[in-house]
Structures are given as structure tokens and as C-alpha cells.
Amino acid sequence: MIAVAVQTPPRMRPCWERVSAGLDAARLAYVVMKNPPSVTRQAHCTAVLRALGEKRASWALRLEDDIVVPPNLLALLDAWIAREAFDIGWLYTWHDGYAPRGSQGVLVRGDRIGHLVRACEALLPTSMPQDSMLAHAAQLAGLRQARARPSVIEHLWDEPSTCAIGRARSAVRAT
């Protein structure tokens, strides 16, 4: 079983409604978790992961609101899990010249998510972007990391995003 949550600020309704429609088409149950204005994105990200861990599923999938979900998402995730051993996997990644980044979709083993949550909590408060925080926390927690190649989801760069980087580029599929 995969527990799924979409992280979004309340003002992003058109974005999370698109993600919800994609998850419905993929026949996945999910919850939309809206970021309260008084909580930082990084703290909310940690809360989303904690809530997913409480589901006690085999895998936890945290998605952001500025993505396109393929209708065959579950089959893609099952195939990835079957062919590669990892504790945390990045469904979408891009390279910024320093390190692979991309928190738009993160898949975490259910028995390892508590380690990730504790590492995230140890980093709070932080000014790091969510993707950097998650990558750093995964490293601190000693999690085996993997990148989906090709990316499993599409990131819509023209959408204002959960991480508030603004409108940067048109829709891009990363490496």
C-alpha cells in the first residue's frame, strides 16, 4: 500500500485540483494537506511526512501541487520499486550544478519515514528550500537515495509552486 499526500498552500486550489484529478485517474487514494499561513513550508513539509508515516503504509508518497500525475503512476512506482533498492526516491529531479534536486515527488519506504521525519525536525527552523532540506535530511538519516530515470512526474515550471520559486520555465521533464 502507498499512502499519498499533496502538499499545497490554500491559495493554490487550481494546482492541487489538477493533481487531485491525476491521482483520481491513477486510482490512488490521497489527502490534500494545506500549508497554514503561520507555518513555514519546511515545517509543513515535515508535518506532511509525519502524517504519511502515521498511515503505516509500505510506502509514502509526498507530492507538490505543481506537477502532472501520469495515469499509470502506480504501475511506474511498482516497476521502480521492483528494480531498485532504495529508502527514498525522487520522482522528479533536475541538476542545479551543485546537486540533484527536486522535491515535487518523494517516495519513502514506510519503515524508514520516521528516520526522515526526525532528521527534518532536527534541521528546523531552516531557510533551506524544501528539496535541499529533504536531501540533507535523507543524508543525515542514512537513507539510500534513488532518482527516477526518466522522471515519473512532470513539473510545471510556469505554475507558482509550493516552494514559491515563481514562474521560471515552461513544463520540463528532467533527467
Residue 151 lies in a domain: yes
Q: Indicate if the alpha-carbon torsion angle 94, 101, 169, 60 is positive or negative.
A: positive
Residue 171 lies in a domain: no
Residue 73 lies in a domain: yes
- Helices 41-54, 130-140: crossing angle, 10 deg rounding: 50
Residue 16 lies in a domain: yes
Domain that holds residue 147: 2-155
Residues whose CB falls within 8 Å of the CB of residue 24, separated by 6 or more in sequence, listed in order: none
Residue 64 lies in a domain: yes
Residue 30 lies in a domain: yes
**CA-to-CA distance for 172 and 175, rounded, in angstroms?**
10
- The string of pLDDT tens digits covering residues 92-147 is 866 555 455 677 899 999 999 999 999 999 999 999 888 889 999 999 999 999 98
Backbone torsion region of residue 126, taken as left when φ is above 0, otherwise alpha when ψ lies between -120 and 50, otherwise beta: beta
pLDDT of residue 158: 61
Number of structural domains found in the chain: 1
Greater pLDDT, 157 or 150 = 150
- 174 pLDDT more than 50: no
Percentage with pLDDT > 70 across the chain: 84
- 58 pLDDT more than 70: yes
Average pLDDT, stretch 159-169? 45
Q: What CATH number does residue 107 fall under?
A: 3.90.550.50
Residue 167 lies in a domain: no
